[in-house]
Amino acid sequence: MAQHADIKSAGPAPISKRDIQTEIDNEWTSLLKIFDGLRAVTTPGTDEPIKKSPTRQERAGVEGLGVPGPPHPISQVIEEAYTIFDYRLRLNDPSCFEFIPSSSSQLAWLADVLVSAFNANAAGSFTAAVPWAVENALVGWLASKVHFPPTAGGIFTSGGSMANMMAIAIARDTKIRPSEFPKATMYVSDQTHFCLSKAVKVLGFQEHQIKTVTSDSSYRMNIESLRTQVIQDRDNGMCPFLVVASFGCTVTGAIDSIEKIAEVAYNESLWLHVDGAYGASAALSRSRPEIATELEGADSIAWDGHKWLFQTYGCGMLLVREKCRLLSSFQVQSSHIDYLAQNDSEPELYDMGLELTRPARAMSLWFTLRTLGIDRVGALIDHGIDLAEMVQGEVKQLPGWEILTPATLAIINFRYRPGRCTEEQLNKVNSEVSQRLMASNTAAIMTVKLRGKVALRMCCINTRIGCRDVKRLVYVLNNTARSALEDMVLGDSI
C-alpha cells in the first residue's frame, strides 16, 4: 500500500482544473467584452486595411507566438490572437469582391459559440439525439428546395471539397465494379473547380481518367462535346461513370445546362453530380427561385453554407437523390458502436459520411435560418444578384468598357478596353487597375483570365454594400483605369 502510494505521488503535481476555472472566473467580466470586439471584427470599418500583409520582421515575431511555452494570462493570449488574425485578407470587408467573399452573419459566429460550448458529438442519435434529428430535418428541407424527391438525404460536411469527394466515391460505387476502376472515366468542363481534381487524386484515380470537356462561348459545358467524348471513350473500352456539372462557376458564375447534361447522363448511364457549392443557395432566392429548378435532374449536389448562406467557414453539405447511396458507400459494421443506434428507421450520421466524431455543423445554419426566417434569407441572396446586375448596368454606360461575362449569380467579369490598345496592353492596364484599387484600400477586385483576356471580376454577395456604394465604386474604377492608361502611354508606371 505504501509502495503504491509512493508511485502515485511520484513526478510533478497535476494541474488542477480548479486553478484554470478560478483564472477564468477572475477574468470573466473582461472576457464578456470579447463579444464587443468580435462584433467589430465581423463588420470591419473603412479605416481598416482590406488586406494586411506582415513585413519579414513582423512575420518572424508573430511566428514566435506559435510555440506555446509557459502559461500566459488569458487576456494576453486574446491580444495575441487579435495580432495574429490582423494579418489577413478581410474577405468580410464590404469593399472585398475577390474569390467568394465571406458575408457571414454575426448570427453565424454566435451560433458557432453555442455549438462549441455545448460541444455535442453529432455522430449519431446516441450522443446527440436532437441535434441529429435537426440535421436530418434541415437536410430534408434543403433537399426539397432543389426539388429532390422524399427519398433524398444528405449530410453536413466541412465544405464543398469534402462534399464533392464523397459524391465521386458514391458515383464510383454505384456505377462501376472494382475491376473497372482502372478504365473508369469521369467528365468535367474546363471551368470546373480544381477541388474536383484533388478529390479524384485522393480517391486513387489517375489524371488521364479525368476528361475535360470544352465550354461554349458562355463558359458552360458543351453538351455535344460531352456526348461525343463519352461515346468515343466507351467505344475505346473505357468505363464512363460520372459527369460533373457546375451550378455557379467560381470565375464566371455560369450555370451549366443541367437539364441537357442530365439527358446525356441518363442515356449513357452516368452519375450526374452538380457542384453547387456556390450557386445552389440561389434555390432559396425569394424573387428568382426558378433559377434552381434544373437542379432536380442531379443525382447529388455539393452545397456550401459558408459561401452564400452567410455562415462561417466549415459549413458544407452533400445532398443525394437517394439517401441509401450514402449508406452503400460509407456504412461499415462495427461492434464498437453499432449497438448504440437509437432509431431503426433513420440511419446514423456516422454511417452516411467519412467522419465519426463531428461537430453539430447543422446547428449553426439552423440558427441563422431560424432567426432570420426564409424570406429574409431569400432577400439577402437576391441583394447580391441585384448588385451585380447594377454593376453591369453602370459599366455599360461608360465609354471604353466591355462586359466579358454578364452578371450571373452575383458574379460579373468586365474590363477596361479603350481604343488603340493591343491585347497585351489591355491585360497590363486591367491588372494595374486591380493593383491600384488594392494599394489605395479602395476595393479588392481580383483579375482572372478569360480565354487570354485579363478581366476584372466582382462577386457581389456582401450584404453590407448598397446601390450608392456600387455607383461610387464604378466611378472610382473608371477614373483609376483612365489614370493607369495615361501612365502607360507616358511610360511612367506600366
As a whole number of angstroms, the distance between CA 237 and CA 183 comes to 8
Query: Residue 363 sits in a domain of what CATH number?
Result: 3.40.640.10
Whether this model's pTM surpasses 0.75: yes
Kindly give the interhelix angle for 374-396 and 467-490, rounded to the nearest 10 degrees.
30
If asked whether residues 354 and 389 sit together in one domain, one would say no
Q: Which ranges in 146-222 belong to alpha helices (H)?
A: 160-175, 195-202
What is the phi/psi pair of residue 239, to 5°?
Answer: -125, 80
C-alpha Rg value of the chain to the nearest Å: 26
- 300 DSSP β-pair partners: 273, 320
If asked whether residues 196 and 312 sit together in one domain, one would say yes
If asked whether residues 351 and 462 sit together in one domain, one would say no
pLDDT of residue 306: 97
DSSP string, 303-357: EEHHHHS-PPSS-EEEEESSTHHHHHHH----TTTGGG---TTS--GGGSSS-SS
If asked whether residues 317 and 411 sit together in one domain, one would say no
If asked whether residues 182 and 280 sit together in one domain, one would say yes
If asked whether residues 279 and 321 sit together in one domain, one would say yes
Give a yes or no: residue 388 inside a domain: yes
Give a yes or no: residue 468 inside a domain: yes
pLDDT of residue 4: 43
If asked whether residues 117 and 138 sit together in one domain, one would say yes
Give a yes or no: residue 154 inside a domain: yes
If asked whether residues 309 and 431 sit together in one domain, one would say no
As a whole number of angstroms, the distance between CA 363 and CA 186 comes to 34
Give a yes or no: residue 38 inside a domain: no
Give a yes or no: residue 19 inside a domain: no
Strand order in the sheet with 316-320: 153-157, 316-320, 300-304, 271-275, 239-246, 184-189, 210-213
Are the C-beta atoms of 318 and 300 separated by less than 8 Å? Answer: yes
Give a yes or no: residue 306 inside a domain: yes
Q: Could you tell me which residues come within 8 angstroms of residue 182 by beta carbon, excluding any fewer than 6 positions away?
A: none
As a whole number of angstroms, the distance between CA 196 and CA 202 comes to 10
What is the phi/psi pair of residue 410, to 5°?
Answer: 70, 10
Q: What is the DSSP letter of 15?
A: P
pLDDT of residue 14: 55
234: left (phi over 0), alpha (psi -120 to 50) or beta: alpha
Q: How far is CA 485 from the centre of its chain?
A: 35
What is the phi/psi pair of residue 403, to 5°?
Answer: -85, 120
Residue 363's nearest CA partner among 117, 177, 179 is 117
As a whole number of angstroms, the distance between CA 390 and CA 198 comes to 36
Scan for cell 458564375, then name that residue: 253
If asked whether residues 179 and 238 sit together in one domain, one would say yes
If asked whether residues 324 and 432 sit together in one domain, one would say no
What would the pLDDT profile of 187-219 be if each residue is shown by its tens digit? 999 999 999 999 999 999 999 999 999 999 999
Give a yes or no: residue 21 inside a domain: no
If asked whether residues 307 and 420 sit together in one domain, one would say no
Q: What is the domain extent for residue 434? A: 376-492
If asked whether residues 320 and 452 sit together in one domain, one would say no
Query: Residue 431 sits in a domain of what CATH number?
Result: 3.90.1150.170
As a whole number of angstroms, the distance between CA 231 and CA 248 comes to 27
User: How many folded domains does the chain comprise?
Assistant: 2
- C-alpha distances out from residue 444 to 90, 424, 484, Å: 9, 23, 17
Q: Could you tell me which residues come within 8 angstroms of residue 41 by beta carbon, excluding any fewer than 6 positions away?
A: 85
- The one-digit pLDDT tens for each residue of the chain (494 residues) are 444 444 344 445 455 656 888 888 988 888 888 888 888 888 887 789 999 999 999 999 999 999 998 999 999 999 999 999 999 999 999 999 999 998 899 999 999 999 999 999 999 999 999 999 999 999 999 999 999 999 999 999 999 999 999 999 999 999 999 999 999 999 999 999 999 999 999 999 999 999 999 999 999 999 999 999 999 999 999 999 999 999 999 999 999 999 999 999 999 999 999 999 999 999 999 999 899 999 999 999 999 999 999 999 999 999 999 999 999 999 998 766 665 655 667 899 999 999 999 999 999 999 999 999 999 999 999 999 999 999 999 999 999 999 999 999 999 999 999 988 999 999 999 999 999 999 999 999 999 999 999 999 999 999 999 999 999 999 999 999 999 999 988 775 45
Give a yes or no: residue 77 inside a domain: no
Are the C-beta atoms of 285 and 378 separated by less than 8 Å? Answer: yes
